[in-house]
Amino acid sequence: MNWNALTTNSSQVDLLRMFAEGQVSGRQLYEVYKNTKLGGIVRNLLRDKGVLEARRLARRALNRRSAKV
């Protein structure tokens, strides 16, 4: 999983933070990235890990990148 690709700018970090906090659903997260280079990464994350595990992994990735969650 390439978290660096999903955290390249502040708007992506904000969206990922909202997903990790439960303010954005998995479907809404995927809709933002659909038909982009990152769409496959997000789709595979949600499909393989499920939304709850994806939220946990997103929180962990944001914490490791010093983005407050």
Model pLDDT for residues 28-60, shown as the tens digit of each residue: 999 999 999 899 999 999 999 999 999 999 999
Task: Count the domains in the chain.
Answer: 1
Residue 26 pLDDT greater than 60, yes or no: yes
The reply to whether 45 falls in a domain is yes
The reply to whether 22 falls in a domain is yes
How far is 68 from 27, CA to CA, in rounded Å? 23
The reply to whether 41 falls in a domain is yes
The reply to whether 69 falls in a domain is no
Range of the domain at 33: 9-64
